[in-house]
């Protein structure tokens, strides 16, 4: 297979870049061996070029990135929004002592509910760990979404449903509208609990959101009579969709060509081309890779080496 000089320079630049990320801990999960194994999945010239294009703009959120986004969302967006209301109410006359009292009171009465489907997940466990270890929230401010108590909710001013990522938006829609949660001895949805405790400001906060997911959540047909505020630290627009018309990943005139190449390769290796709900992102967190990323990053079978692993990676294989 003959690469042009320009293509060889591109490949070398991307390899140097990714190995630098791995060797310096900026990418904490894959190691050099798993990267080389993953690259070995791509045999032909166009397949290899597609792989390097995906790596070139792959988004990896390290632990430092996660903590930064968490602090930004809680303190710079949620808390400062609260402070702005008080400032407006007092005609911007609050002194520093008063502002500090507001901060202490806000944090004391701020509670978190990790978004889960019942069992603790990698992402919910990670969020709890960062909140307690890195943001110094007491463990009693982290509520168990399966067992809530009225005595706790009665003293809570703010409750944040927290997760790392909005992909399709389906998870929060299901959790808020349909998931049954035990409140004392009663089974209720989060929507019903929110209506039962109008004193609580309830919102959903995630570190990163896709524009797709945000549109779905904000669609009244999907989220009727929505009184749940959505807050995120970082928004990924259409440019971050691998096969989108304005994709960062491939030259505009080559998107369909590379998509066809990868589709054939995935079909040959019994891997779906697109992620959950037909999404096509290329991103991972320190603790996991979401299933809206392309499955070719995390699927594992006898013919395919993964770059990352998550709960959807098949484990009963020989490699």
pLDDT digits (tens, 9 = 90+) for 117-137: 655 566 878 888 999 999 989
Statement to judge: residues 281 and 138 lie in one domain: no
User: Is position 311 within any domain?
Assistant: no
- Let me know whether 214 and 275 are in one domain: no
Mean pLDDT on 158-174: 91
Angle between helices 63-71 and 122-133 (to 10 degrees): 70
* Sequence-ordered list of residues with C-beta below 8 angstroms from that of 70, at least 6 positions apart, any chain: 127, 130, 131, 134, 135, 207, 233
Q: Are residues 80 and 228 in the same domain?
A: yes
Same domain, yes or no: 75 and 211: yes
Contact partners, residue 315, CB within 8 Å, separation at least 6: 300
pLDDT category, 221, cuts 50, 70, 90? confident
- Which residue from 225, 235, 218, 108 is spatially nearest to 169, judged by alpha carbons? 218
CATH of the domain at 102: 3.40.50
| Claim to verify: residue 179 and residue 68 sit in the same structural domain | yes
Same domain, 163 and 196: yes
Q: Which domain holds residue 74?
A: 63-236
The predicted model scores a pTM of 0.90
Measure CA of the first residue to CA of the last residue in the chain; give whole Å: 27
pLDDT band at 318 (very low <50, low <70, confident <90, very high): very low
Kindly give the pairing relationship between strand 186-188 and strand 181-183.
antiparallel
Of 210, 207, 208, 217, the closest CA to residue 278 belongs to 210
Whether 37 and 79 map to the same domain: the answer is no
What token pair was written down for 42?
A: 């791509």
Burial 36-60 (b: 16+ CB within 10 A, else e): ebbbebbeeebbbbbbbbbbbbbbb
Q: pLDDT tens digit string along 90-111?
A: 888 888 888 888 888 888 889 9
- Residues whose CB falls within 8 Å of the CB of residue 232, separated by 6 or more in sequence, listed in order: 73, 166, 205, 206, 207, 208, 209, 214
The answer to whether residue 25 sits within a structural domain is yes
């Amino acid at each position: 297979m003959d690469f042009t000089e320009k293509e060889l320079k591109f490949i070398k630049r991307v390899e140097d870049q990714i190995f630098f990320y791995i060797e310096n801990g900026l990418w904490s999960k894959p190691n050099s061996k798993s990267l080389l194994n993953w690259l070995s999945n791509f045999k032909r010239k166009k397949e290899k070029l597609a792989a390097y294009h995906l790596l070139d703009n792959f988004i990896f959120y390290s632990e430092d990135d996660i903590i930064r986004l968490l602090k930004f969302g809680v303190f710079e967006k949620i808390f400062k929004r609260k402070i702005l209301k008080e400032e407006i109410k007092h005609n911007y006359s609050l002194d520093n002592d008063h502002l500090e009292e507001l901060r202490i009171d806000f944090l004391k009465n701020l509670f978190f509910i990790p978004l889960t489907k019942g069992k603790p997940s990698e992402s919910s466990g990670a969020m709890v760990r960062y909140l307690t270890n890195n943001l110094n929230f007491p463990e009693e401010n982290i509520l168990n979404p399966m067992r809530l108590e009225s005595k706790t909710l009665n003293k809570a001013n703010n409750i944040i449903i927290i997760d790392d990522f909005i992909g399709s938006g389906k998870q929060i829609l299901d959790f808020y509208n349909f998931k049954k949660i035990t409140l004392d001895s009663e089974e209720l949805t989060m929507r019903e609990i929110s209506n039962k405790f109008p004193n609580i400001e309830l919102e959903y906060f995630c570190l990163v959101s896709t524009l797709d997911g945000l549109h779905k959540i904000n669609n009244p047909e999907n989220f009727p009579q929505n009184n749940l505020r959505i807050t995120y630290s970082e928004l990924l627009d259409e440019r971050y969709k691998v096969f989108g018309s304005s994709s960062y990943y491939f030259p505009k005139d080559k998107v369909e060509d590379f998509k066809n190449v990868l589709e054939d390769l995935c079909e040959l290796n019994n891997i779906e081309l697109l992620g959950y709900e037909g999404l096509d992102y290329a991103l991972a967190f320190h603790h996991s890779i979401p299933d809206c990323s392309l499955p070719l990053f995390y699927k594992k079978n006898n013919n395919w080496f993964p770059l990352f692993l998550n709960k959807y990676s098949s484990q009963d294989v020989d490699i």
